[in-house]
């Protein structure tokens, strides 16, 4: 089902450290997943995606891991920078439909 969070969980990391943001998705039939980054006052920005036939995908400084057994998705950011400070949303898509279901988001704060 759809999740709506009342309070955003926050992850605070030191600049230069690696960040791991977690997401529990709701539907075992979901076959496509996306991570979005949303900076204050802006719309969500696509970061990376992964299909259910994969368990890992790497981009530039980011890696997405998918564990279908426990319906868990994570986003790893290497060498976190101040510009990475934002709210991060995972989204799932079922049966190649058009409707993305968004998680409630995690706020990442990077300490200088």
Binding site for other proteins (CB under 8 A): 2-8, 32, 34, 36, 41-46, 49, 89, 93, 96, 98-105
Angle subtended at Cα 45 by Cα 52 and Cα 24, rounded to the nearest 5 degrees = 40
The smaller minimum CB distance to other proteins, of residues 96 and 112, is found at 96
What are the angstrom distances between the C-alpha of 53 and each of 14, 18, 33, 67? 33, 26, 11, 11
Return the structure tokens found at 31: 């076959």
- Least Å distance between CB 80 and other proteins? 22
- Least Å distance between CB 107 and other proteins? 9
The smaller minimum CB distance to other proteins, of residues 89 and 110, is found at 89
The smaller minimum CB distance to other proteins, of residues 34 and 64, is found at 34
Q: What is the CA radius of gyration of the chain?
A: 13
Return the structure tokens found at 13: 């990391």
- Please tell me the distance from the alpha carbon of residue 4 to that of residue 1, in angstroms, as a whole number: 10
- Least Å distance between CB 16 and other proteins? 28
The smaller minimum CB distance to other proteins, of residues 76 and 104, is found at 104
């Amino acid at each position: 089902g759809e999740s709506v969070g009342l309070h955003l969980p926050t992850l605070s990391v030191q600049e230069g450290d690696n960040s791991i943001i977690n997401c529990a998705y709701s539907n075992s039939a979901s076959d496509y997943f996306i991570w979005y980054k949303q900076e204050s006052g802006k719309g969500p920005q696509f970061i990376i995606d992964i299909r259910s036939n994969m368990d890992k995908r790497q981009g530039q400084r980011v890696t997405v891991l998918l564990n279908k057994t426990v319906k868990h998705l994570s986003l790893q950011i290497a060498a976190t920078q101040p510009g990475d400070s934002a709210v991060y949303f995972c989204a799932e898509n079922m049966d190649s439909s058009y409707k993305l279901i968004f998680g409630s988001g995690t706020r990442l704060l990077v300490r200088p």
